[in-house]
Amino acid sequence: MDAVNREMLIVEQAIEQIVDGDPVVQRLCTAPGIGPVTAVAFVSTLDLVQRFEGAHKVPAYLGLVPSEFSSGERQQRGAITKTGDPRLRWLLVEAAWSVMRSRTQRTEELRQWTGQIALRRGQRIAIVALARKLAGILFAMWRDETEFGKAERRSSRSADAA
């Protein structure tokens, strides 16, 4: 057991060094439910933020969107596609559970949004929807170089630039 504990300590120190040396990972850790492991996994999986046109492309890349079986006028959605990195998908779902269990003021808006979905569709589907939303939030934080809760509206920024 001591050998496992020593290895875990080495891994934790390595992750701390990555967080200390990477401002993007530090910024992502400000999001609710997102810790160093999830932030590092997100950055390493996406690699370059410029690869994606927008925040809605990231959940699809990670497999957090529903599959679709459509033909003609009939549209039927299924389970999530599960493409992409399964570990990051699992970490984002765990982060979503963490947000739902949190009772802080900074998670209130996300919990209310998820609660409304849970009433209509069920708790598990709502948690995956929150994981999808967290992926979009993390992408936007990385792209815009802002911390959680400190982002200015994109429309006001573009109006100032004009």
Half-sphere exposure of 110 (CA within 13 A, CB side): 28
Domain annotation covers residue 154: no
- Distances from the Cα of 119 to the Cα of 60, 75, 91, 125, 126, angstroms: 24, 23, 24, 10, 9
Phi, psi of 71 (to 5 degrees): -155, 120
Give the pLDDT confidence score for residue 158 in this predicted structure. Answer: 44
Domain annotation covers residue 152: no
SS3 72: coil
Task: Average the pLDDT over 22-28 and give the result.
Answer: 96
Q: Which domain holds residue 128?
A: 2-147
Residue 69, both tokens: 């079986």
Residue 63, both tokens: 């497999």
Half-sphere exposure of 114 (CA within 13 A, CB side): 25
Give the pLDDT confidence score for residue 159 in this predicted structure. Answer: 45
Q: pLDDT per residue over 108-145, tens digit each?
A: 999 999 999 999 999 999 999 999 999 999 999 999 99
Q: Please state the pTM of the whole predicted model.
A: 0.86
Give the pLDDT confidence score for residue 152 in this predicted structure. Answer: 56
Domain annotation covers residue 79: yes
Domain annotation covers residue 158: no
Task: Average the pLDDT over 95-112 and give the result.
Answer: 96
Give the pLDDT confidence score for residue 157 in this predicted structure. Answer: 46
Cα distance between residue 99 and residue 108, in whole Å: 9
Q: Is the pLDDT of residue 160 over 60?
A: no
Give the pLDDT confidence score for residue 73 in this predicted structure. Answer: 87
Biggest alpha carbon distance in the chain? 62
Domain annotation covers residue 155: no
Please give the tally of structural domains in the chain: 1
Domain annotation covers residue 156: no
Domain annotation covers residue 135: yes
Report CA torsion sign: 37, 138, 148, 114: negative
Residue 104, both tokens: 């802080």
Domain annotation covers residue 7: yes
Q: pLDDT per residue over 59-92, tens digit each?
A: 999 999 999 888 888 888 889 989 999 999 999 9
Give the pLDDT confidence score for residue 71 in this predicted structure. Answer: 86
Cα distance between residue 140 and residue 134, in whole Å: 10
Q: Is the pLDDT of residue 36 over 80?
A: yes
Task: Average the pLDDT over 144-148 and give the result.
Answer: 93
